[in-house]
Structure 1
Amino acid sequence: MRRLLKNPSALIGGVLVIALLILAVVAPMIWGDTASRFDPEAINAGSSGAHLLGTDALGRDLLARTLVATRLSLELAALATLIGAVLGILLGVLPVVLPRRPGRLVTGVVDALVAFPSLLLAMFTAVIVGLGAQGAVLGIGVALAPTFARITHTLTASISQADYIAAARMLRVPRLRVLTRHVLPNIAEPLILNLTQAMGGALLGLSAMSFLGMGVQPPSYDWGRLLFEAFGHVYVTPIVIVGPAVTVTLAGIGFTLLGDAFAKAAARAPQAAGAATAPTTTPVTSEGPVQDTVLEVRDLTVTFPGDVRPVRDLSLTIHAREIVGLLGESGSGKSMTASAIGQLVPYPGHVTASRYRLCGTDVDTLSNHDRRKLLGSSLAMVFQDPTASLNPALRIGGQLAEVATVHSGATKTEARQRAVERLTQVRIHEPERTADQHPHELSGGMRQRAVIAMGLMGTPQLIIADEPTTALDVTVQREVLRLLREVVDDSGAGALFISHDIAVVSELCDRVVVMYAGRVVEELSVHKLATQAAHPYTRALIGSLPDMHTDRNRPLDTIPGRQPAPAEVPSGCAFADRCALASDRCRVRPALVELDQDHKVACWEA
């Protein structure tokens, strides 16, 4: 509001709109009788002391009639805007609800209507429905609908790929519920802002319709009707068109300026600054004993149609209070591995494993209900972009509480209390206040903390963090890494930390698993990473990371070539084409063998 008050355009638009609304309420009560009083002695009179803007063909005062017409003009414009918004939103969301081909047909119809001149569309509709206020309102509403439909369709498409939408679809939530619960609430703000601008257009359109004789009919009158009646006398007494012409102009300017200011203010709305660190609190620990091995996966493979396998025969073990770093270039299969462990690989992907044990339980032997309960309570996932993980239409506390109500059967009061406790645990200042805020009101670091708190709403024994600090600055990144380390140490959970940043992995993790082209090529303790890495790919990654001793007169080390796509992985060593040590025997893929107790490598030259 303070920003709007400092904006001259917003201030002018607000004053004009407020004045019009007040006038619409009081004008009929004050000047209603004057506006309808006949004066045979002052027919078509010009400006005078008794009639500042002159009179019409029946001697009625035009200033009073202009003021009184404010109510009907605004009422009709509001009704037309509402009709246009409802019709447009329905047209805009139909492609989401309907199957693919009917949805494309609706989109094509909307595109054609947008290209059609709006006033001609309104006149065409009014001719079909019938002349008068009803036909004009419906015509203007139909003319506004394509614009709302285009905006709705664009906004819907922009969020349709969000993670929370994808999750709802994977859970087979009905399309209508996805639309009403997740899509419409998240696009409501720009649509509401557009209503203000559309109101100005509706006023001008209705006035034009009435001026052409297709709108309001006698004895009713709006500003356009007053212009229509005065136009025949404009060359004799020009003053008669001043009142309705000025009010139509001011009303259009007022609503347009206010709507534009609202839209700009919403687009520039700043995020909340990062919160200060709260005092250390006693963390909530897991219920019951935590087993030493929280995850054991053997021969994990993800396959897509066409024998595309982004993850191939991966084996991984994570122990309690241990953070394992999954390291590799983009496209090496790290995130797909996390999705496979979390049972989130999208259709038509297919996941197989000779063994998949989580918290000592064989996941493949569970029913769908038991599997969902185990994963929902014992596995927490922290994704790279917290904005995509949080529903922007819902409050932070409600999204955290949903985890406890769905997976733990907690009441709303218990879930709310647990949400505040978890926000406190991740050191968010004023957790009660944060629980009542929406995601856009938090900074990037606070949103990531909220996502970590969401993962802790159950009793997670495994935390998967998929590049959770990529979008954060270095200071906030360090705080999030320290928080993740503290959560693992205090709760006794294990963690899989996915990253392509060797420096971050070296600082945070206990053990490192290096992936290349969907396979594990090396596994070693983090203490050996810098000096004892055996695989040429791991050494190349380390060499490409500059440090304080790097010679700045020489170009940085790089890895030549590119990583093969999942459909192009050769039968031999996938790194051979980029490796300086490659030989003929690299045409046969090397197995992952143990060099010593905590060091495995898949390389013939190691």
Structure 2
Amino acid sequence: MRTRIRWNPALVAALTGLALIAVLGILAPLLWNTQATELTGTAREGMSGSHLLGTDALGRDVLARTLVATRLTLVMTLAATALAALVGIVLGTAIWVSGPRVRELGLRLIDVLVSYPALILALVIAAVVGAGPTASVVAIGLGGCPSFARLTANMAASVAQRDFVTTARLMGVPPHRVLSRHLLPNISGPLLVLLSVAFANVLVALSGLSFLGLGVQSPQYDWGALLNSGLEALYTNPAEAIGPAVAITVTGILAGFVGDGLAAALDPRDTPTKPKPVREGTHRRPTGATAPTDALVAVDGLTVELPDGTRLVDHVSFHIRPGEIIGLVGESGSGKSLTAMAVAHLLPQGLTAHAAELRVGELDLTRPHTLDAARLATDIGIVYQDPSASLNPALRLGGQLTETLRVHQGVGRTEARERALKALDQVHIKDPERVVRQYPHELSGGMRQRAMIAAAVLPGPRLLVADEPTTALDVTVQAEVLRLLAEVNEANGTGMLFISHDIGVVGTLCHRVLVMYAGRIVEELDAADLRAGRAHHPYTQALLAASPRLEDAQEVSGRPLATIPGRPPTPRDRPAGCAFAARCHLAAEICATRLPPLVDKVACHVVNGTPATAAPKETAT
């Protein structure tokens, strides 16, 4: 894939300056080597017409020596920078495509190495290996590796947790491909700036070693050695020291401008002008219960836990038939997304899932080591909440749309592109030929979400998981996306798990609705009953009461909307009984001590028959 370079004045000027210095480094030994090495009787001569920077203690022309030293200085600086960058980048990024144990060990190793100052580490290495150009390059290169590795690891960490990297792992993309295709392209801009800073720092460090006598040894010389010699005559001929000092300073500054300019030029998200967007013309069953024979998705007793055993999702059971849209609704933190990600086999690292049954079609997710990555990638499609975080900003849409087809279905490039264009047309994106050549940032939010839906349905998945796909969109675009999801479901017969905190949206799109609270399903009801207000659980009723409806606008005019007092308990603070009891106006004594079972699709002691000893209490405030 070709990368477009957006040239800017700073980049052009800096590259031109460095190019001139590089040319000078190549030609200077050929043109002025005689003047740089010839001994004369004019030792420590000041600035004159024949010697613009004077002469050194042996009568050699200082300007000629400064120009000739350019080659060795640049070669050493480039070699040491390349060594530091190569080792540091490989170490910093490799730990994020390795297992958790390797990652933890690698991060701790980097922390230990960074705790030692780079220059001190370089001095130790130079003292052990010995003086000379090679020893200096190795010492400074290895001394700069820890800082490179640390910064690279931090940048890779922010990208490694993005949705498109998670999806790549779901697709079975090998670690080296994740590294080269998804991690490195998205941190290339900061790495270029880091390279430029490292080049300048390495230049100063190498010059410092030579200045201390641990670097280049006579008869060889670089700018650092010349600076050492010039300081001896600082008060009699200051120009002898100014020459190499100016060379070091100018080269370092130009390198910094090059890195900054390239970061802006190569990053597709950093455009000089604002891009013009394209216009948009379950209920809980006892563990071991059997799902219907025609169920596409069967979840029985699903539990998601933290390493310390804290349950984030607690014995959730439901099923989805082919062509059925199941809504999962509840407040933030209720476990909706974790339930969906467990079904999609995309739980964050550190969380574990257990279930008596967890399958999608013929895929048994309770045995992850036997899963076919290709089947998993093609049978399950994901539509995330934020398309900006789900689409790789460093890659054009065409490659992202066709990746699953080409990797897991063996589709050729031409056919995959044709199918991608057809998929974009089906989701009502105008001019698909242009869109596939664009980067995600060049599309509006609604268009990015449409492209994400197209990418999810392109391989022909049997299940589509939509994790709050309309939250980041405005109301008009939300309605369009909902209509689009309904069209996909009707046209392809795809089962869908739709997650939302908006009970009104769920009631509009879905066939059945599961209401979650504090990691458990508290009610299951048909969407028609939800729309009609025929909910039984107090929590579901409270959600409906807190949702404004247009037909009730005049009736409730001037009165505030209903609210649900209090907050949901944290996973570690959930009570032994009903987690909603502290906020429920019907709560009885039994609710605080006994977990209500799911009976007739409602988990509520009061609704299902409160014992005579349990008396209702007043509304919590």
Same fold (TM over 0.5): yes
Match for residue 355 of structure 2 among 351, 354, 359:
351
Which residue number in structure 1 is paired with residue 145 of structure 2?
145
Which ranges in structure 1 are unaligned for 5 or more consecutive residues?
279-291, 595-599
Match for residue 589 of structure 1 among 596, 608, 612:
596
Say which SS state the counterpart of residue 215 (structure 2) adopts.
coil
The CA deviation at 1:588 is 7.1
Q: 1:566 and 1:59, CA in 2 relative to 1: closer, same or farther beyond 3 A?
A: closer
Q: 1:549 and 1:248, CA in 2 relative to 1: closer, same or farther beyond 3 A?
A: farther
The CA deviation at 1:151 is 0.9
Q: 1:351 and 1:409, CA in 2 relative to 1: closer, same or farther beyond 3 A?
A: farther
The CA deviation at 1:132 is 1.8
Which residue number in structure 2 is paired with residue 342 of structure 1?
344
Deviation digits for residues 50-71 of structure 1 (CA, Å, limit 9, x no counterpart): 2222223343332233223222
Which ranges in structure 2 are unaligned for 5 or more consecutive residues?
282-292, 609-621
For residues 99 and 502 of structure 1, what CA distance do their matches in structure 2 show?
39
For residues 295 and 365 of structure 2, what CA distance do their matches in structure 1 show?
15
For residues 92 and 360 of structure 2, what CA distance do their matches in structure 1 show?
46
Which residue number in structure 2 is paired with residue 422 of structure 1?
423
Q: 1:373 and 1:34, CA in 2 relative to 1: closer, same or farther beyond 3 A?
A: closer
The CA deviation at 1:327 is 1.6
Contact conserved, 1:16 with 1:250, CA < 8 A, in 2?
no
For residues 91 and 302 of structure 2, what CA distance do their matches in structure 1 show?
43
The CA deviation at 1:309 is 6.8
Contact conserved, 2:8 with 2:261, CA < 8 A, in 1?
no
Q: 1:203 and 1:549, CA in 2 relative to 1: closer, same or farther beyond 3 A?
A: farther
Contact conserved, 1:522 with 1:601, CA < 8 A, in 2?
no
Which residue number in structure 2 is paired with residue 237 of structure 1?
237
Contact conserved, 1:314 with 1:520, CA < 8 A, in 2?
no
Q: 1:181 and 1:375, CA in 2 relative to 1: closer, same or farther beyond 3 A?
A: closer
Q: 1:174 and 1:343, CA in 2 relative to 1: closer, same or farther beyond 3 A?
A: closer
Within the alignment, does 1:562 sit opposite 2:567 as a pair? yes
Which residue number in structure 2 is paired with residue 194 of structure 1?
194
Say which SS state the counterpart of residue 43 (structure 1) adopts.
coil
Q: What amino acid is aligned across from residue 436 of structure 2 in structure 1?
A: A
The CA deviation at 1:77 is 0.9
For residues 349 and 370 of structure 1, what CA distance do their matches in structure 2 show?
15
Contact conserved, 1:318 with 1:324, CA < 8 A, in 2?
no
TM-score (norm 2): 0.79
Q: Within 5 A, what are the aligned runs for 1:448-463? A: 448-463=449-464
Contact conserved, 2:322 with 2:493, CA < 8 A, in 1?
no
Deviation digits for residues 183-213 of structure 1 (CA, Å, limit 9, x no counterpart): 4454444223311111111122222222223
Match for residue 274 of structure 1 among 265, 274, 277:
277
Identity value in percent: 45
Which residue number in structure 2 is paired with residue 5 of structure 1?
8
Say which SS state the counterpart of residue 560 (structure 1) adopts.
coil
Cα RMSD between the aligned structures?
A: 4.1
Contact conserved, 1:405 with 1:412, CA < 8 A, in 2?
yes
Q: 1:33 and 1:308, CA in 2 relative to 1: closer, same or farther beyond 3 A?
A: same
Q: Within 5 A, what are the aligned runs for 1:297-376? A: 297=298, 299=300, 301-302=302-303, 304=305, 306=309, 308=311, 310-318=313-321, 320=323, 323-344=325-346, 348-353=352-357, 358=361, 376=377
Aligned residues: 581
Which residue number in structure 1 is paired with residue 612 of structure 2?
none
For residues 367 and 68 of structure 1, what CA distance do their matches in structure 2 show?
63
Contact conserved, 2:300 with 2:318, CA < 8 A, in 1?
yes
The CA deviation at 1:474 is 3.8
For residues 394 and 12 of structure 2, what CA distance do their matches in structure 1 show?
29
Contact conserved, 2:192 with 2:263, CA < 8 A, in 1?
no
For residues 135 and 371 of structure 1, what CA distance do their matches in structure 2 show?
50
Say which SS state the counterpart of residue 349 (structure 1) adopts.
strand
Q: What amino acid is aligned across from residue 478 of structure 2 in structure 1?
A: Q
Deviation digits for residues 285-307 of structure 1 (CA, Å, limit 9, x no counterpart): xxxxxxx9774647453354848
Judge which range, 457-466 or 111-120, deviates more: 111-120
For residues 237 and 11 of structure 1, what CA distance do their matches in structure 2 show?
36
The CA deviation at 1:386 is 3.4
Which residue number in structure 2 is paired with residue 159 of structure 1?
159
Within the alignment, does 1:72 sit opposite 2:72 as a pair? yes
For residues 140 and 437 of structure 2, what CA distance do their matches in structure 1 show?
40
For residues 142 and 11 of structure 1, what CA distance do their matches in structure 2 show?
31
Judge which range, 300-309 or 110-119, deviates more: 300-309
Contact conserved, 1:522 with 1:535, CA < 8 A, in 2?
no
Judge which range, 75-84 or 49-58, deviates more: 49-58
For residues 103 and 125 of structure 1, what CA distance do their matches in structure 2 show?
27
Which residue number in structure 2 is paired with residue 283 of structure 1?
none
The CA deviation at 1:475 is 4.5
Contact conserved, 1:593 with 1:602, CA < 8 A, in 2?
no
For residues 464 and 554 of structure 1, what CA distance do their matches in structure 2 show?
38
Which residue number in structure 2 is paired with residue 398 of structure 1?
399
Judge which range, 584-593 or 395-404, deviates more: 584-593
Deviation digits for residues 237-283 of structure 1 (CA, Å, limit 9, x no counterpart): 222222222111211222234434555775972585532236xxxxx
The CA deviation at 1:79 is 0.9
Judge which range, 537-546 or 192-201, deviates more: 537-546
Contact conserved, 2:163 with 2:389, CA < 8 A, in 1?
yes
Within the alignment, does 1:228 sit opposite 2:228 as a pair? yes
Q: What amino acid is aligned across from residue 338 of structure 2 in structure 1?
A: M
